[in-house]
Structure 1
C-alpha cells in the first residue's frame, strides 16, 4: 500500500457497531489508544473488517484545529 497521506496508524479492530446505514469501527493502536471511524456498512463488508483483524487508520486533512478550555 502506498498513499499520499502522511498519517497512517496501524492497529486492530476492537469493536464494530453496525447502524442502519453506517458503522462505527473502533481501531485499537499500540499502547491502547482507540481511534473511531464512521464508515458505510458496505465499506465494512468490502474491507472484510472483523474484530481482531489488523487495519489502518489513514488520516488526510488540510488542517487540524486545537482548542483549550479557559
Structure 2
C-alpha cells in the first residue's frame, strides 16, 4: 500500500460497532493507545473489518490545533 498521506498508523481492530449508516471502529495502535474512526457501513463491510484484524489509520488533515489550560 502506498498513500500520499504522511500519517499512517498501523494498529489492530479492537472494537467494531456497526450502525445503520456508519460504523465506529476503534484501533489499538500501541498498548493503551487507541484511535477511533467513524466510516461508512459499506466501507467497513468492504474492508471486512473485525476484531483482531491489522489495519492502518491514515490521517489526512490540513490543520492540527493544540490548546492548553
Give TM-score scaled by structure 2 length. Answer: 0.93
Q: How many residues align?
A: 69
Give TM-score scaled by structure 1 length. Answer: 0.92
Q: Which runs of 5+ in 2 are unaligned?
A: none
Distance 1:4 1:59 in 2: 10
Structure 1 residue 20: Cα displacement: 1.8
Query: Which ranges of 4 or more aligned residues in structure 1 deviate by more than 4 Å?
Result: none
* Structure with more of its chain in strand, by fraction: 2
Deviations 1:17-48 (CA, angstroms, capped at 9, x unpaired): 11121010000012320000000110110011
CA RMSD between the two structures: 0.9
